[in-house]
Amino acid sequence: MTDAQWETLLRLVQGEQFDSPPVGLLVDGPWISSWHGVSLLDYYCSDRVWLEANLGVVEAFPDVLLLAGFWSEYGMSGNPSAFGCQCIWPEQGFPTVAKLLDDYSAIAGLRKPNCRTDGLHPFLLKRLQHAQKAMERIGHRTRFATTHGPITIASYLLGHTELLIGMKTNPEEIHKLLTLVTEFVVDWVACQKADFPSIEGVMVLEDLMGFLGEGDFAEFAQPYMTTIFSTLDVPVRMLHNDAFGLVTARHLAEMGVNLFNFSFEHPVSEIRALTGPNVALMGNVPPRDVLGLGSCDEVRECVAEIVRSVDWRQGLLVSAGGFVPPGTTPEKIETMCRTAADAA
């Protein structure tokens, strides 16, 4: 992100008023590679292709806050790979990992990885280091330390169903797993900040917390997320949770979150009522059905309804309720920007 874009984001989370709501999008490999006309596997495998694609997309949309900005990621494979998960790289489709732990007793034998040497993390850091001069030449810098959350990472190690069932049947083992993964995430976030002093934000992607009820959220999500968001003293603390998010929304301030990207299934007005005025909201156009598959007219109608539904002058970043999917054309993004500007 450029200095001007970062200043806009700071104003947003600080509750300043805008003449029209800014537009931002959560973008990663699947959409960027599609927009650039390359396969996702080529995007991940080639630092040159990755850099060209990211340079192209930020230059094409200078008025949009593209988060996290030059994001060094390997989909869901990055964090689990450090623990020893087998990475699976299909020629078509998304990368994934094989489950690592056979049962709850195997958690006791798990050890915290070294984020500087283990799995794909050294490659994630080196990619950004190699790209730094090219980014700075066009006025961009690395602004976010990014990570998946501990519940999501743990679900890839143990299995999604097994993790959720274990919260009821084996809570002690699940707490051991989440404690270990959280310690690793804290290391990873701090490592990124140490290597890139320009980082002034933390972005945590934690969808699986949306599957928890109030009691389980308080026990298995909130304490660990609070630890992560307190790791760095930074002004922007963003949470992406585009699963069911009403429980999450009630506890954002307690966790230290001040920017929330949530599911399109929740109206912005509903989330605003739950979060209060001090958390900036990022949403809430349906990603697949409107941005990906819909028309420009549908995008326009959706954005217009969002800005009608709440006080957009502060605390609203017009966006998708989740990641931008392949099929989201420049025309649709431009329609989002024009419709948001018309709110003035």
Reduce the DSSP state of residue 201 to 3 states and report it: strand
Using CB atoms within 10 A of its CB, is residue 314 exposed (0-12), middle (13-18) or buried (19+)? Answer: middle
Residue 119 pLDDT greater than 90, yes or no: yes
End-to-end CA distance of the chain: 25
Q: Write down the pLDDT at residue 244.
A: 87
Among 337, 323, 319, which Cα is nearest to 271's? 319
| Residue keyed to tokens 């192209």 | 56
Please identify, in words, the CATH class of the domain defined by 3-76+116-147+199-341. Answer: alpha beta
Mean pLDDT of 90-102: 93
The two three-digit tokens of residue 56, written as one number: 């192209």
Which percentage of the chain shows pLDDT scores above 90? 97
Find all residues with CB under 8 Å of 80, minimum gap 6, and list them.
97, 100, 119, 153, 156, 157
Mean pLDDT of 63-71: 97
Q: Write down the pLDDT at residue 245.
A: 83
Residue 127 pLDDT greater than 80, yes or no: yes
Residue 343 pLDDT greater than 90, yes or no: no
Q: Write down the pLDDT at residue 184.
A: 98
Q: Write down the pLDDT at residue 136.
A: 96
* Mean pLDDT (the chain, rounded): 96
Q: Which residues of 22-39 are buried (b: 16+ CB within 10 A; e: fewer)?
A: bbbbbbbbbbbbbbbebe
Instruction: Tell me the H-state helices in the chain.
Output: 3-13, 29-36, 40-45, 47-60, 78-83, 121-137, 150-158, 160-169, 171-195, 214-220, 222-229, 246-250, 252-255, 268-275, 296-309, 330-341
pTM over 0.85: yes
Residue 344 pLDDT greater than 80, yes or no: no
Among 222, 261, 218, 221, which Cα is nearest to 243's? 261
- Rounded to whole angstroms, what are the CA distances from 265 to 100, 241, 269, 271, 284? 32, 12, 12, 10, 8
Query: pLDDT tens, 219-275?
Result: 999 999 999 999 999 999 999 999 988 999 999 999 999 999 999 999 999 999 999
